[in-house]
Structure 1
Amino acid sequence: MSGSFSLFIVGWGIIMIVLLAIGGFFMFRKFLKRLPKEDGKSILDWEEHYLELTRHMWGEDEKQFLEELVSPVPELFRDIARQKIASKIGEVALNKKQKQITRDTIIEGYIIATPKRDHKFLIKTLKEKNIDLRPYQSLFEQA
C-alpha cells in the first residue's frame, strides 16, 4: 500500500511539473511579445495598432472569409491566430494604400502571418477553398 501511494505521489508530482512548465512556456512567450522593441512598441501593440487602423475596411464577406481560414486552428488558439492574421492583413492593406480589404489582401496577409512550419497546412486549407496559389508563390518563398 505504501509503495503504490508513493508511486502515485511521484506520478502526480511529475504531471504537475509538466503542466506548470507548459503554462510557463506560453506565459513567457506572451511576455516576450509584450516587451517594447526599438521603436517603443511591442509586437502586440503593433497588432492592435493595425487592427484599429483598418477596422472600418473590413466587409462582412471578408470577415467571413477570414473566419473560414482560421476555423481549422484549434479553438484554444483561434483568437490569437485571428488577431495575428487580421493585423498582418491590415498592415498589407495599409502598405498598398487600399481603401477596402480584398480577398487577395486576406490571402497575402494569411500567408505572411503564418509561420513557415505551418505552410503545408496553410496550402491544404487554401486548396480546399479552390484558391489558385500561383500568384502567391513568391510569398511562400519569402517566409
Structure 2
Amino acid sequence: MSIIVDYLIILWGFLLIGLMGIGGFFMFRKFLKKMPKEDGKSVMDWEEYYMDQSKHMWNENEKLLLEELISPVPELFRDVARHKIASKIGEVALKKNEEMITQEILIEGYIIATPKRDHKFLRKKLAQKDIDVTPYEQFFDLSQTDYTDNWQDSYKNTN
C-alpha cells in the first residue's frame, strides 16, 4: 500500500510541474508581447492602437463574418484570436486609407493575422460561404513570419 501511495505522490508531482510549465509558457508569451520594441511600443500596444483607430469602420455584416471565421478557434482562445485578427484587419484598412472595412479587407487581414497552419480552416469556411479565394492566393502562399516584420513590403512585391 505504501508503494502505491509513493507512486501517486510522484505522479501528482509530475502532473503539477507539467501544468505549471504549461501555464508559465503562456504567461511568458504574454510577457514577451508586452515588451517594448524599437519604436517604444509593444505588440499589444499596437494591437490596441489599431483596434481603437478602426473601431468605427466596422459594419454589422463584417462583424458577423469575423465571428463566423473565428468559430473554429477553441472557445478558450477565441477572445484573444478575435482581438489579434481584428486589430490586423484594422491595420490593413488604415494603411490602405479605407473608410470602411469591407469583406475583401477583412479576408486579407484575416489571412495576414493567422499562421499558415490555420489557413485550411479559413479556406473551408470561405468555401462554405461561397467566397472565392482566388484573389487572396498570394496571401495564402506567404507564411505569417513573412508578414510580421515587413508585411507591407511583401504585399507590394506580390502585386
Could you tell me the TM-score, scaled by structure 2's length?
0.87
1:111 deviates by: 0.5
AA paired with 1:56? H
Residue 30 (structure 2) aligns with: 30
Residue 120 (structure 2) aligns with: 120
Q: Deviations over 1:13-43 (max 9, x none)?
A: 1110110010000000000000000000100
1:133 deviates by: 0.6
Residue 136 (structure 1) aligns with: 136
Is 1:49 the counterpart of 2:20? The answer is no
Question: What RMSD, in angstroms, separates the aligned Cα atoms of the two structures?
Answer: 0.9
AA paired with 1:57? M
Within 5 Å, which residues of 2 pair with 1:84-99? 84-99=84-99
Distance, in Å, in 1 between the alignment partners of 2:133 and 2:102 is 16
1:11 deviates by: 0.7
Q: Report the 3-state secondary structure (helix = DSSP H, G, I; strand = E; otherwise coil) of the residue aligned with 1:142.
A: coil
Distance, in Å, in 2 between the alignment partners of 1:74 and 1:142 is 24
Q: For structure 1, list consecutive stretches of 5 or more residues without a partner in the other structure.
A: none
**Number of equivalenced pairs:** 143
1:117 deviates by: 2.1
* Percentage of pairs with the same residue: 63
Q: For structure 2, list consecutive stretches of 5 or more residues without a partner in the other structure.
A: 144-159
Residue 63 (structure 1) aligns with: 63
Distance, in Å, in 1 between the alignment partners of 2:91 and 2:24 is 30
| Structure 1 stretches of at least 4 aligned residues deviating more than 3 Å after TM superposition | none
1:142 deviates by: 2.5
- Contact persistence 2:72–2:121 (CA under 8 A): no
